[in-house]
Amino acid sequence: DVVLTQTPLSSPVTLGQPASISCRSSQGLVHSDGNTYLSWLQQRPGQPPRLLIYKISNRFSGVPDRFSGSGAGTDFTLKISRVEAEDVGVYYCMQATQWRTFGQGTKLEIK
């Protein structure tokens, strides 16, 4: 099974400052169709997860452009250019190349 390892598990950030979350996969995530099905989801307190980024770097509909995704192979990153109060929550990377697995989650909180 593909294991996704996120770092850090907790990230205290000052409002207006950037934040970065890493996701490392135990295997390469390039599908036989040529796509890399690595995405990022945000879960605000008490809410279901919400898709932010799909196929490494594509913002989903309605997602602010301060969110960006990058990476290739087994290493991927989610960046928030300037953290806002509404960004508080847990962020998960997820792969759908080989079945579906989630990272452990990274809790973003305001300092």
In terms of Cα–Cα distance, which of 5, 97, 94, 108 is closest to 52?
94
Q: Which CB atom, from 51 or from 79, has the smaller least distance to another protein?
A: 51
Cα separation, 62 vs 10, whole angstroms: 25
Residues that bind another protein (CB under 8 A): 1, 35, 37, 39, 41, 48-51, 54-55, 58, 60, 92, 94, 96, 99-105
Closest contact distance (angstroms) between CB of 109 and another protein is: 15
Q: Which CB atom, from 9 or from 15, has the smaller least distance to another protein?
A: 9
Q: Which CB atom, from 60 or from 68, has the smaller least distance to another protein?
A: 60
Cα separation, 8 vs 13, whole angstroms: 12
Closest contact distance (angstroms) between CB of 46 and another protein is: 10
Cα separation, 31 vs 60, whole angstroms: 20
Number of residues that this document lists for the chain: 111
